[in-house]
Amino acid sequence: MPLAGSDPTYFELKEYRKNENSPLAAATNWDSIIMKQVGKQTVIRGYNSSMRHRTLKKNQKLSKPASVRIAYASFWSRALGFITDIFMIGLPISLIIILFFGYDQTHSAGGIDVIMQNKEALKNPPNPLVSIVQLCLFMIVTVTLWHKSGQTPGKKMAHTRVVDARTLQNAPYWKLILRFIGYFISLITLIGFFIGLLRRDKRALHDLLSGTAVIQAN
C-alpha cells in the first residue's frame, strides 16, 4: 500500500521479509524492499541489514587511527609565562597583603634573603603568617585557573596550557596542587626547570612529579 502523504506510485513493501510465499523474497535476501515507479520503469531497491553490518565492520578494520601529534610548549614560552605570572598574579596578592597586614610587610625579608643571610633584609624579619597567607593565595589562584582553562594570565599570553599528561584534558585538582608544590622542588634543585631541555615532551621536574604537561594552546 502507498505510504501516507507520499506519491501514490511510491510503495514500500515490508511484508517480503522472510516470506516464503513471495517470489521476490525468494530471489533476494533483502530485509525490506522499496518499489518506485519512475516513468515507465519500475525501480526496486533493497536493504539488507546484515550485509550493511559486514560492510561497516570491514571498513572499520581497513581504517587505521590517525596518529595525533602533540605540540608541547617550548622551554622559552614556558619561562615567559612563568615570569609573567609572578607579576600578574603576585602584584594583586601583594596589594591584599598591604591592605590587611600593612605596607611594612612588603619590605620584610623573603625566603631567599633568609637562605642568603642578607643582613639588611633580616633587619625586618618576615611574619610567618603573612608568608603562609601569601603562598596560599598564590596557590589557590594559580591552581583554580589551571583547572578551569589550563591557563594563567602568563600562559595565556604565551599561548600555552597545562593539561593532564595522559588525557591531554584539564588536570584534576590533586595533580595541579602537586604541580604547584613541585615548583619549589624544581627551584631547590634548579636543574628541575631545565630537564625539559633534554626531553622531547619538554616536561620539567614538577610536570613529571604531578603527571602534567604544558602544550601549545590553539
Q: Does residue 176 or residue 30 have the better pLDDT?
A: 176
Q: Quick check: helix, strand or coil at residue 14? A: helix
The verdict on pTM exceeding 0.75 is: no
Residue 42 β-bridge partners: 37
In whole angstroms, what is the distance from residue 67 CA to residue 203 CA? 21
What pLDDT, in 10s, does the model give residues 94-108?
899 888 887 766 666
Domain boundaries in the chain?
10-61, 75-216
Residue 101 has a pLDDT of 80
Q: Chain-wide mean pLDDT for the chain?
A: 75
pLDDT confidence of residue 7: 45
Find the range with the poorest average confidence among 64-78, 136-150, 183-197.
Answer: 64-78
Phi, psi of 43 (to 5 degrees): -100, 125
